[in-house]
Amino acid sequence: MTTTLIETHKAFGGEQRKYRHYSETLDCDMVFSLFLPQQTDNKPTDLIWWLSGLTCTDDNFSQKGAFQKYANQHHMAVVMPDTSPRGTAVADDEGWDLGQGAGFYLNATQEPWAKNYRMYAYLTEELPQLVYALIPNFSGKESIMGHSMGGHGTLVIGLKNPERFRSISAFAPILNPSQVPWGQKAFTAYLGTDETNWAEWDATSLIAESPAAPPILISQGTADNFYDVQLNEEAFLQAAEGKKVRYEKLDGYDHSYFTIATFIEDHLQFHKDCLK
């Protein structure tokens, strides 16, 4: 597996990079972005994964997340994968909440999606090996975070791999996708109509069964227009009783990257504390 560097920008002493590679898992060309902190000595570098939401690419967080200053201060690398497989040969849908840009970070089992839509396998098996090799003095320590659909993916991947990720955080995540329209549409298409197959991709089901969930921080804006229908937290928090979950409401903040940029310093400090 080889990667091609296609873009580099200096930011707060570090480098914001963009790479392209062919993914055998997804059977298409993929891009991802990677921030590397300034390398001034042999200090170990921790790794944070960022998963973006519906319609996004790797560029959204790299250009609007306002994280680079704090990641450089904490000596963290931050990787931003794309949100789905891409290309003219990859299945798609006319709706913005299904298909390309809406991979939901699972392994699809239904046609025409099963051939390419294996984002969980891509993020847990293939892409890490590429990313680790690009980080100078990688410490081996990882945490994961994301937004909206990416918050769903963050919780699912983090809860399925507690031995790998030291902490999990999310902005406005889809916490119970089996019970809300976004998740029901995606799960029906990607996984089929048998809802018993949905539980392994639903954070509420996963945390209820998780004996050793990593510490979790969730931030939800009170002015988020998706909150009432798509992002309600009640079932998740009930299932998470007894786990290390901090759920905070952000008064007057919405679903946008303005919210993420405002509170990203707090989230990175949370991960830094957990990675120590």
**45, 37 Cβ separation under 8 angstroms:** yes
Range of the domain at 242: 3-275
Q: What pLDDT was estimated at residue 132?
A: 98
The one-letter amino acid code at 57 reads T
Q: What pLDDT was estimated at residue 42?
A: 85
3-state DSSP assignment of residue 77: strand
Omega of the bond leading into 112 within 30 degrees of 0 (cis): yes
- Beta carbons within 10 angstroms of residue 61's beta carbon: 27
Q: Looking at residues 244-252, what average pLDDT do you find?
A: 98
Q: What pLDDT was estimated at residue 40?
A: 81
CATH no. for residue 149?
3.40.50.1820
Q: For residue 245, what are its two tokens?
A: 């979950």
What is the DSSP secondary-structure string of 190-220? Answer: HH-S-GGGTGGG-HHHHHHH-SSPPPEEEEE
Q: Looking at residues 35-62, what average pLDDT do you find?
A: 95
Q: Which percentage of the chain shows pLDDT scores above 70?
A: 100
β-pairing, 165-171 vs 138-147, is parallel
- Checking phi first, is residue 151 left (phi over 0); if not, alpha (psi -120 to 50) or beta? alpha
Position 140 pLDDT exceeds 80: yes
Q: Looking at residues 237-254, what average pLDDT do you find?
A: 97
Overall number of domains in the chain: 1
Q: What pLDDT was estimated at residue 212?
A: 87
Position 251 pLDDT exceeds 90: yes
Q: What pLDDT was estimated at residue 72?
A: 97
Position 101 pLDDT exceeds 80: yes
Residue 192 DSSP one-character state: -
Rounded CA-CA distance 189/187 in Å is 5
What is the DSSP secondary-structure string of 6-74? Answer: EEEEEETTEEEEEEEEEETTTTEEEEEEEEE---SSS--EEEEEEE--TT--THHHHHHS--HHHHHHT
Q: Residue 78's Cα: distance from chain center in Å?
A: 11
Sorting pLDDT into bands at 50, 70 and 90, what band is 154? very high
Average pLDDT, the chain: 97
Which residues are catalytic, by number? 148, 224, 255
Closest CA to 105 of 54, 171, 34: 54
Sorting pLDDT into bands at 50, 70 and 90, what band is 141? very high
Position 230 pLDDT exceeds 90: yes
Q: What pLDDT was estimated at residue 248?
A: 98
